[in-house]
Amino acid sequence: MIKRQLGKSGLEVSTLGFGCMGLSFGYGPATAKNEAIKLLHAAVEHGVTFFDTAEAYGPFDNEELLGEALAPYRDQVVIATKFGFMEGKPALGADSSPKRIREVAEAALKRLRTDHIDLFYQHRVDPNVPMEDVAGTVKDLIAEGKVKYFGLSEAGVGSIRKAHAVQPVAALQSEYSLWWREPESEILPTLEELGIGFVPFSPLGKGFLTGAINENTTFTENDFRNTVPRFSEENRKANQALVNRLGSIAAEKGASPAQIALAWLLAQKPWIVPIPGTTKMHRMEENLGAAEIQLSGHDLAEINEALANIEVQGHRYSEQAQKMVNR
């Protein structure tokens, strides 16, 4: 797979990464460990070099899974993980105190079976800790060789600038897709100005843009989409128009809706690296096929025009989850 550089950081990764959260957390029952390891090994063999995890996924289970699965390939892959919550549990609130950041780094190194974290993200901005202190702590970890690059997740322009002034930010990870384009107004221009890469999570709209979900879909009890307003039955029915139009465009291209959604993201900027996640081998292979699809300027204009009059219904987060997005 062709590689991309995340901004001007020097961090080079595969054009598409792998978002690993769903293997352990968030989308229903965890995948059986042997199946998850088989999938991660296949991703490496298909050219994926960029794997995304966090202490909060589980908590801790996902990092342990990656540590075991990627140990044979450690020198070939880039592993990103995150700090920022009390005890690794988002429900307990933010904690990006310097002491906590160091604790997370040391624990993650053990779980990931490595001597360095390639990319260390602040999972959410902590309103109680100055960004300069957060960036300064990661800067010290980089100087000590325990971390290679610094990242932020769901941070706003002010937070990004404050952090970048202390320790260059290699990448911002935030939601971005055909059904959540908010980063285009302020975030993307700021990243381009500062030379920071962008890593869109939920690039397939938490599965909705694949076309595999409709108003009749039932999610398992511990699937977080049950709490997301955008995934209410009423909103899924209303948002079907977006997927139907995407499906028509994909059919014209001989591709799947997921592939067009990912190819669209890749076409926005050369320093954008989406991290779709999946628990299924055929979906992983389908996603990676998006890297081969070249959308022309005409194609992109057609997609934008086709979707311009479709208003997506429902908030992307529950009220409780939205409170954690303090930019």
Q: Which residues are catalytically annotated?
A: 57
**Residues near 297 by beta carbon (within 8 Å), at least 6 away in sequence:** none
Q: What angle do CA 122, 125, 110 make, to 5 degrees?
A: 25
Report yes or no: 241 and 252 within 8 Å, Cβ to Cβ. no
Give the closest residue to 175 by CA, choosing from 133, 151, 134, 204. Answer: 204
Backbone angles phi, psi at 149, to 5 degrees: -140, 155
Backbone angles phi, psi at 288, to 5 degrees: -65, -25
Beta sheet of 50-52, edge-to-edge order: 18-19, 50-52, 78-83, 117-122, 147-153, 169-175, 197-201
CA distance 6 to 22: 24
Backbone angles phi, psi at 190, to 5 degrees: -65, -45
